[in-house]
Chain A
Amino acid sequence: QVQLVESGGALVEPGGSLRLSCVVSGIHFAYYYMMWVRQAPGKGLETVAYITTDSNTILYGDSMRGRFTVSRDNAQSSLFLQMDSLRADDTAIYYCATGREAGIADLWGQGTRVTVAS
């Protein structure tokens, strides 16, 4: 049974930092690209970050570039998102997602909630 379990979401003040984790089981994690996708309250889905199996290609959404860092530990089947200089508009549910075929994300976690507020 495939599971993606996010954690690390919390209430944080503007300008603060947070590190999200996504632990994956039931698949050979090292063979899968990974993404972080978020949904702000009342808004649509937005790709936050993308990372290839070997971490050689890493891409970020425009508003995250320079503030967020995605990484992975294939030995631990884990994906991470380091979020710095957080802003109110980063408030969202953050999902990790992947799939066997490039771009076709059919495996999702349940999401972790990040709230940026003073």
Chain B
Amino acid sequence: DAGVIQSPRHEVTEMGQEVTLRCKPISGHDYLFWYRQTMMRGLELLIYFNNNVPIDDSGMPEDRFSAKMPNASFSTLKIQPSEPRDSAVYFCASSPSWRGTTDTQYFGPGTRLTVL
């Protein structure tokens, strides 16, 4: 199995630009999670999906952030407009179901975003 795939691995952009991060979960996993990792705040859950439907987006920092999952094999996290404080590593993770809830989460390699 290829594991969770994220692209791009690195993104450098200027303040005010739109940024789109992409994720392909492991086939057969019906939960998908987006996390952000910074030195100051550690790992934070931004949003998660179940069967392509957003379930909990309470971690999304503000309206500049949006996430979609148009099908079971693809999700995007978009930031528009981007700001320097959005600089972080963004991880996608997927998980199969187990007894009505999620099982172990498998993480992608992350996208390192730098906003200048």
A interacts with B:
no
